Every structure is written in C-alpha cells, then in structure tokens.
Amino acid sequence: MKPINVGLLGIGTVGGGTFTVLSRNEAEITRRAGRPIRIVAVADKNTELANRLAGGKARITDDAFAVVNDPEVDVVVELIGGYGVAKELVLKAVENGKHVVTANKALLATHGNEIFAAAQKKGVVVAFEAAVAGGIPIIKAVREGLSANRIQWIAGIINGTTNFILSEMRDKGLPFADVLKEAQRLGYAEADPTFDIEGVDAAHKITILSALAFGIPMQFESAHIEGISKLEADDIKYAEQLGYRIKLLGITKWTPAGVELRVHPTLIPARRLIANVEGAMNAVLVQGDAVGATLHYGKGAGAEPTASAVIADLVDVARVFDADHEHRVPYLAFQPDAVVNTPILPIGEVETSYYLRLRVEDKPGVLADITRILADNGISIDAMVQREPGEGEEQTDIIILTHLVREKGVDAAIAKIEALPVVKRKVIRLRLENLG
C-alpha cells in the first residue's frame, strides 16, 4: 500500500523524538497503520541539526512553507509552537488538502475553532493527541473511549513543571523562588517560566479538554487562570497537616448554569490517587456518569513520550486516509453541527470549598468576629485550626476550611474580614476540591 509521506515542521526535542521512534519501531508501526509512514521532508531553521538527526532520510529546508506546499507531502506535523507562523502554516496545509498533526496546545486553544472549521470544509484531519499531557492518550480517551458517557467533570495535573515545584516545596519545605531556580537548573523549567508557573500552559490544555468533554467551542479567553508563583510554603505545610496536598489543577465542570473552566492551586485530600502524583508527572481524572472516575497517568512531556502521541495520530491518519471525512471521528468529539455555545461561568459564580488563612492578633474576640462575618455571608465552616503563637509572639494564624459556597460570597466575606483592625495581612484564599 502507498506510504504516508510526512512533512515535519520543527525537529527540536519532540521532532527529534518523532524521527527516532518512527525509525526504531518502523515495522510495528507499519503493522498497526496498514501502510508505511515515512518522513520525507523536514523544515527547521537549524538545518545543520536537521541534517544530523535526519541522517539523509529526508529533504531538509529552512522554509516551512516549502514543506506545506510540497505536493509529495500527505501529512504535515507541526511542532513549531506559538500562535503566529504556526497558525499560517496549519491553515495553509489545510487549504492545500493536507492532513495535520500538531502538538500545539496554545494554537488550538486560541485558534482551534477557525482551524477545525477550515479542516471540516476541506475534508482533512487535524489531530492533536500530543497537545495535552504528552504521552498520556487523554484526547482519545475523552473523545472516543468515553463517548458513551455524559462527562461531568475533568480535573488534571497537566503541567509537569509546576507539579515538580509543588512536590519539592512540600518535601523540602523550601520557598517557591528557591525551588524554581532548582527546576530551571534541572531543565524542568524554562529560562522564562511564565506560561508554566502562571497557569497559562495548563489553561490551554484544559480548554481543549473542556471542548471535547462538553461539545463546546474552544473558549480560552473565558478561562480563569491563577498560577503558583504567590503560593507560600506555610500553606503547603498547613494543608498537609489537615490531610490535603496542593496541586495546580486544570478543572472543567458541567453545571446547569454553564461550564466551569479554571486553573488554580487546589487542595486535594491526600487519600486521592491524583494527590500523590509527584515530580514532573501528569495525571487527568475524568468523571463520567456511566464509568465513574477514570485516572490517566504518565509522562506529560519529553521527546519520546510526546513523540508517542504524535505517531499515534499519524497511525490514525493512515487508517482513515482514504475514508470519507463525514465518517471520521469528529475533531471535538461531537458532530460539528452539534457543538453548542454553552457559556463559561464567571469565577464569581463557581461553587466550591475554600481554605482560608488569616494572620490575626492573638487576643479575645477575634474568632467570634470572623465567624460572624462568615455566617453573615452564608459560609459554613467545615474545619478550623488556630496555631499556637510562639513565645513572645502577638500574632497567630487561623486556618479555616469551608463547605461548598459560591465564590462571590467568599470574596465579600474576605473584604469584610480584611477590614478588621485585628487582621494583619491579606487573607490567603485557596480553593479545595474533594474530587469524590
């Protein structure tokens, strides 16, 4: 059978891994795909590196558009990243009738609606398993494996950099800044780690999963995003004492009022499996009405884990290469005419539980004032701990865990609590999810 000819855009870490795995497992991949899959053209600004990695097995160019316009190329694999030229290249590939495989979560989260509409019109595949959670086949699980279910919510540790940092902060009791430097030294964090530590990378990924889970368009601009850069080691310690671990979670939930789409540090009961995912590993918990909870765990980044997902998409393309596009798996799990514009809930309307830490004067009546404010705002206390002040200290920490409450009620209560003269710093507020 005619081979599938692939044009590779970018031969960095993932591109190099893709070349390596395709070569090493060529026979096995051909058996699965039903035809050979071969990389015939590579575009990269570093042509010296490309020539070294390709080993004479593919044409090398520094012009990505030359690959996209090459009539011999059947499938374009986009591993450049970013929003700019990557978008132009993907749309041009689609316009030229070529299938596309991409690992670019930022591109899909922000421009996926446009790209999928163009691909639908042209009848080509846009596959993106590698865009979320690296080597974990979570896209296929949500889009196909769980298609019998009404998915109720997804919660994921989907950024390895932040999970490594939080694991180190908990294990060693070190402040965020010190652990970030160590993560950069070890190669877990970029020189500019902003997208990771401020939650943007995770928000791109949970946006994609939300669209797949609920049959809605990509709505990244509506996501609530908080990172871990302001998280304090004291809160990780207090959470541990209360039986919780703090993880940066991407969360999306269906509610009758709309869809929740949020990324933030979250307390999770330590007994949950996902709370025990450590280091740079990823895990995604999906709750379906029929299957219950399923946990998907593995390496979320790296050359060969991500290459595994890229090549899985190439195998899928090979299998449906000659199929009528109307009978392929839909891009966003639901048929294109069944995608609905369910609104994303503003964060103030989200209902969850909360961890509050208050720095207060150690004097009588303080606790009564605080609990009265909480009660006036409809906030019920689940647990409360008051740290014993050290010798000579005049201030102490009060830690409060709440029952379920709407966020705008917590905001109102915090504003009143911070206005009390006995409260000596801004209230630390973290969200809590039981994931039961």
pLDDT, residue 14, reads 94
**The CA-based dihedral angle spanning residues 173, 362, 379, 272, taken in that order and rounded to the nearest 10 degrees:** 20
Size (the chain), residues? 436
Pairwise CA distance, residues 271 & 250, whole Å: 19
The pair of three-digit structure tokens given for residue 232, joined into one six-digit string: 């304090």
Q: What is the mean pLDDT of residues 54-82?
A: 95
The pair of three-digit structure tokens given for residue 88, joined into one six-digit string: 């132009």
Q: Give the three-class secondary structure for 98.
A: coil
pLDDT, residue 336, reads 87
pLDDT, residue 244, reads 98
Q: Tokens 């915090």 label which residue? A: 414
pLDDT, residue 47, reads 94
Q: What is the mean pLDDT of residues 378-400?
A: 89
Q: Give the three-class secondary structure for 219.
A: coil
Pairwise CA distance, residues 412 & 307, whole Å: 48
Q: Vertex 358, ends 355 and 361: CA angle to 5°? A: 160
Residues 126-155: pLDDT tens digits? 999 999 999 999 999 999 999 999 999 999
* pLDDT above 70 as % of the chain: 100
- Quick check: 105 and 158 in contact, CB under 8 A? no
132: Cβ contacts below 8 Å, ≥ 6 apart: 105, 138, 139, 158, 205, 208, 209
Q: What is the mean pLDDT of residues 342-355?
A: 97
**The CA-based dihedral angle spanning residues 127, 131, 134, 138, taken in that order and rounded to the nearest 10 degrees:** -70
Residues 259-282: pLDDT tens digits? 999 999 999 999 999 999 999 999
pLDDT, residue 115, reads 97
Q: Which of residues 419 and 321 earns the better pLDDT score?
A: 419
- Chain-wide mean pLDDT for the chain? 95
The highest-level CATH class for domain 4-135+303-335 is: alpha beta
Residues 177-221: pLDDT tens digits? 999 999 999 888 999 999 999 999 999 999 999 999 999 999 999
pLDDT, residue 287, reads 98
Q: Give the three-class secondary structure for 82.
A: coil
Residues 226-244: pLDDT tens digits? 999 999 999 999 999 999 9
Q: Give the start-to-end residue ranges of the domains of the chain.
A: 4-135+303-335, 138-299, 351-432
Q: What CATH number was assigned to the domain covering residues 351-432?
A: 3.30.70.260
Q: Which of residues 387 and 127 earns the better pLDDT score?
A: 127
Q: What is the mean pLDDT of residues 71-80?
A: 97
80: Cβ contacts below 8 Å, ≥ 6 apart: 9, 10, 64, 86, 89, 104
The highest-level CATH class for domain 138-299 is: alpha beta
- What is the model's pTM? 0.95
Pairwise CA distance, residues 45 & 237, whole Å: 47
Q: Give the three-class secondary structure for 281.
A: strand
Q: Which of residues 362 and 411 earns the better pLDDT score?
A: 411
As annotated, the active-site residues are 205
pLDDT, residue 309, reads 96
The pair of three-digit structure tokens given for residue 224, joined into one six-digit string: 């609530």
**pLDDT value at 390 more than 90:** no
